[in-house]
């Protein structure tokens, strides 16, 4: 495609920066492009990740694996914003799953505190 007139006219060129997930393949080979298509396809309609879930030592993480906000008691984030990366597919099903799992976590904690009293 780079040899077509419109792209030549614009001075388009391939950025020779291999992505880490595809480093095992020769840059610009068919296998490399297959790998790139798997790891770098994304939706632009359902951004996520503003409250990334991750371990306490990850400086980008906002919530822990129990969806609790680091440094704030009694606050959880239970929506698609906890996904650390945008999934390649629609976010509807994973978001429903996050909501269901989050509600289970809240109920479990509430029951444990109720039983202790």
Active-site residues, by number, are 46
As a whole number of angstroms, the distance between CA 9 and CA 49 comes to 37
What are the backbone dihedrals phi and psi of residue 69, each rounded to the nearest 5 degrees, phi first?
-70, 130
As a whole number of angstroms, the distance between CA 89 and CA 42 comes to 7
């Amino acid at each position: 495609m780079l040899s077509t007139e419109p792209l030549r006219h614009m001075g388009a060129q391939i950025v020779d920066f291999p992505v880490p997930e595809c480093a095992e393949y020769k840059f610009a080979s068919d296998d490399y492009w297959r790998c790139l298509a798997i790891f770098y396809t994304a939706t632009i309609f359902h951004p996520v990740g503003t409250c990334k879930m991750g371990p306490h030592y990850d400086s980008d993480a906002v919530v822990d694996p129990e969806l609790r906000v680091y440094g704030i008691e009694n606050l959880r984030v239970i929506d698609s914003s906890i996904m650390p990366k945008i999934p390649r597919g629609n976010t509807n099903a994973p978001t429903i799953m996050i909501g269901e799992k989050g509600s289970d976590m809240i109920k479990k904690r509430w029951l444990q505190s109720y039983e202790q009293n």
